[in-house]
């Protein structure tokens, strides 16, 4: 660590060194066994007499902070006082008002989780690690062509363009693809380009609650818009909205697919109001029964749609790569934002991903993953089937969904949602509540209560372990409901 000498300080130089080293040990910046800079070298570095350093080290040794070793210099003593973190003044740099009281989403203690039924989580065990490691090693063995291109290396942009055109019928080429560190990063970048302070963003309600703070942080006003069996209710969109965020293929968390008629109405609305549509094709690659509808981006004739996607669930959370398909008018401004923020995925990772896509291994992985997740999807649906007396059928009412990595069901018994979620976690099952995905301020203003229920993921839990998790959830709901009636 660096030590400093203040020649204007009236304290002795040895005292200054003593207090700095003692403070570093007390704060935990220096830990037991860490070596100290040899006294001779430190004296030269600081421009002081060696006696000054040895005096400070001697005092620290006498007080048990350091151990002197013959011929081996001084190290932090194993018996040194335990580190204590000094509290900083909380008001030294207050956040901007829109961030006051906010913090990151709380993380769960993984040691408590035996069955992970949180929504949107892929199974890490089916990720093609061997091919991925080979491609990473190959990409890292030589310089990556176009590594300084802030919108993504050309090879990956070509690969993504061909892949989304083939698998999702998008209209795209390498010049309209922008590579990001994930879909949320893609949304952030395009919002910075499209939105101005005070602009209105319409979002699905219920929807991705973690996106609302992002829009607020950019100075936008967020207006929740209800979702019904056909998707976002276009008639409820505010005319002043500058942007609409939608998940038409698999609405989160309800799982409904936006109807073709509703898609056309939304596109017509955006054209009339000169508004942008951000289409997150959430979990569309995991569709199990009916045929997919054309993406909004494919149906768009006016260039109002920005399509965002990610390889987070397609492959693994370890692959922090996403992308946006943007109208040509936005490519350069988006590139300017990426250049200014210097937040782009590793070029080595980009090249490895490009080769994985081009080799066909990504498609092979998706076919395998789809079969795996479909079996779990059927198991969870069966547990909610009243005709067969599934273990969850009396407690929950299923909202139909034919794709994705989760199912949503409303509580059919008088059980407090938050209590069910907390008690399930205590019993080892991590699960999500439905009502938390609704805009609470909107619910208060309209005096309409959000439905209560559970959002149950099945991506990260093996089929063989799913029945045990289901039994715990069923027992938890029954116990909470029974306690409420006593």
Would you call 68 helix, strand, or coil by DSSP?
A: strand
The per-residue pLDDT for range 206-234, each reduced to its tens digit, is 999 889 989 988 899 999 999 999 999 99
Average pLDDT, the chain: 90
The DSSP secondary-structure symbol of 461 reads: S
**What is the predicted pLDDT for the residue at 445?**
60
User: Are the C-beta atoms of 400 and 255 separated by less than 8 Å?
Assistant: yes
pLDDT for the residue 28 = 84
Q: Are residues 334 and 385 in the same domain?
A: no
Asked if residue 304 and residue 158 are part of one domain, the reply reads yes
Kindly write down the DSSP assignment for every residue of 248-284, as one continuous string: -SS-TTT-PPPPHHHHHHHHHHHHHHT-EEEEE-TTT
| 345 shares its domain with 399 | no
In what helix (H) or strand (E) does residue 174 lie, and over which residues does it extend? none
| Same structural domain, 448 and 339 | no
483 vs 416: CA distance, rounded Å: 10
Domain limit, last residue, from 335, 359, 383: 359
Please enumerate, as own/partner, the contacts of 291-295 that have beta carbons within 8 Å and a separation of 24 or more: 292/168, 292/249, 293/248, 293/249, 293/257, 293/258, 293/259, 293/260, 293/263, 294/169, 294/260, 294/263, 295/168, 295/169, 295/170, 295/248, 295/249
Strands 66-69 and 73-76: antiparallel
pLDDT band at residue 27 using 50, 70 and 90 as cut-offs: confident
Give the burial class of 252: count Cβ atoms within 10 A of its Cβ; 0-12 exposed, 13-18 middle, 19 or more buried: buried
pTM of the model: 0.84
Question: Domain containing 370 — which CATH number?
Answer: 3.90.1150.10
For residue 401, which of 457, 326, 361, 448 has the smallest C-alpha distance?
457
Residue 328 phi/psi, 5-degree rounding, is: -60, -30
pLDDT tens per residue across span 263-286: 999 999 999 999 999 999 877 788
Within a domain: residue 55? Answer: yes
Tens of pLDDT along 363-418? 999 999 999 999 999 999 999 999 889 999 999 999 988 888 999 999 999 999 99
Same domain, residue pair 40 and 151: no
Is residue 198 domain-shared with residue 341, that is, in the same domain?
yes
Is 101's pLDDT higher than 90?
A: no
Question: Does 23 share its domain with 64?
Answer: yes
Q: How far apart are CA 207 and CA 436, in angstroms?
A: 9
472 in any annotated domain: yes
Answer yes or no: is 201 within a domain: yes
Find, among 321, 283, 280, 289, the residue nearest to 458 by Cα.
283
Contact assessment for residue 231 and residue 251, using Cβ atoms and an 8 Å cutoff = yes
In a domain, 91, yes or no: no
Residues 212, 290 within the same domain: yes
325 shares its domain with 388: no
Question: What is the per-residue pLDDT across 128-184, written as a single tens digit (0 to 9) for each?
Answer: 889 999 999 999 998 999 988 999 999 999 999 999 999 889 999 999 999 999 999
| pLDDT (tens digit per residue) in 343-365 | 889 999 999 999 999 999 999 99
Within 181-274, where are the H helices?
183-194, 211-217, 260-273
Phi, psi of 409 (to 5 degrees): -145, 140
Does 8 fall in a domain?
Answer: no
Mean pLDDT of the region 78-105: 71
CB-based contact 436:452 (threshold 8 Å): no
> Are residue 141 and residue 262 in the same domain, yes or no?
yes
- Cα gap 141→348, rounded to integer Å: 9
d(CA 426, CA 113): 8
In total, how many domains does the chain have? 3
The fraction of the chain above a pLDDT of 90, given in percent, is 70
Q: Using an 8 Å Cβ cutoff, are 427 and 437 in contact?
A: no
pLDDT at position 294 over 70: yes
Please check the confidence at residue 327 and state whether its pLDDT lies above 90: yes
Residue 467, exposed/middle/buried by CB under 10 A (0-12, 13-18, 19+)?
middle
Assess whether 115 and 153 both reside in one domain. no
Domain boundaries, position 438: 110-122+365-485
In the predicted structure, residue 6 carries a pLDDT above the cut 60: yes
């Amino acid at each position: 660590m660096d030590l400093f000498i203040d020649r204007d300080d009236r304290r002795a130089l040895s005292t200054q060194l003593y207090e700095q080293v003692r403070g570093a040990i007390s704060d935990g910046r220096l830990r037991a066994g860490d070596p100290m800079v040899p006294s001779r070298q430190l004296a030269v570095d600081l421009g002081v007499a060696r006696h000054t350093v040895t005096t400070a080290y001697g005092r620290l040794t006498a007080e048990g902070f350091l151990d002197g070793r013959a011929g081996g210099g001084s190290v932090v003593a194993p018996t040194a006082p335990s580190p204590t973190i000094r509290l900083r003044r909380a008001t030294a740099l207050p956040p901007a008002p829109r961030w006051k009281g906010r913090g990151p989403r709380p993380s769960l203690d993984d040691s408590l989780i035996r069955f992970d039924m949180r929504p949107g989580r892929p199974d890490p065990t089916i990720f093609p690690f061997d091919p991925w490691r080979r491609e990473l090693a190959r990409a890292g063995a030589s310089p990556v062509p176009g590594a300084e291109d802030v919108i993504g290396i050309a090879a990956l942009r070509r690969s993504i363009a061909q892949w989304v055109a083939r698998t999702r019928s998008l209209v795209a080429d390498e010049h309209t693809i922008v590579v990001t560190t994930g879909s949320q990063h893609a949304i952030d970048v395009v919002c910075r380009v499209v939105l101005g302070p005070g602009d209105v963003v319409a979002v699905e309600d219920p929807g991705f609650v973690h996106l609302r703070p992002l829009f607020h942080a950019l100075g936008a006003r967020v207006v929740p818009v209800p979702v019904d069996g056909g998707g976002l209710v276009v008639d409820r969109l505010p005319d002043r909205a500058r942007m609409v965020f939608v998940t038409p293929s698999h609405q989160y968390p309800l799982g409904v697919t936006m109807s073709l008629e509703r898609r056309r109405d939304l596109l017509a609305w955006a054209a009339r109001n000169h508004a942008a549509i951000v289409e997150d094709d959430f979990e569309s690659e995991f569709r199990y029964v009916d045929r997919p509808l054309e993406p909004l981006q494919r149906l768009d004739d006016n260039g109002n749609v920005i399509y965002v996607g990610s390889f987070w669930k397609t492959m693994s959370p370890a692959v922090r790569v996403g992308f946006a398909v943007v109208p040509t008018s936005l490519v350069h401004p988006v590139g300017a934002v990426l250049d200014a923020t210097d937040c782009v995925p590793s070029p080595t990772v980009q090249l490895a991903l490009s080769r994985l896509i081009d080799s066909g291994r990504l498609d092979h992985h998706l076919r395998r993953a789809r079969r795996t997740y479909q079996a779990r999807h059927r198991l969870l649906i069966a547990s909610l089937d009243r005709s067969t007396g599934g273990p969850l059928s009396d407690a929950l009412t299923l909202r139909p969904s034919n794709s994705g990595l989760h199912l949503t069901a409303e509580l059919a018994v008088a059980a407090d949602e938050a209590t069910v979620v907390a008690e399930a976690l205590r019993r080892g099952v991590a699960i999500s509540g439905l009502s938390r995905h609704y805009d609470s301020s909107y619910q208060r203003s309209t005096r309409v209560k959000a439905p209560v229920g559970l959002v149950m993921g099945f991506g990260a839990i093996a089929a063989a372990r799913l029945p045990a998790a289901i039994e715990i959830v069923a027992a938890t709901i029954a116990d909470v409901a029974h306690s409420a009636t006593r």
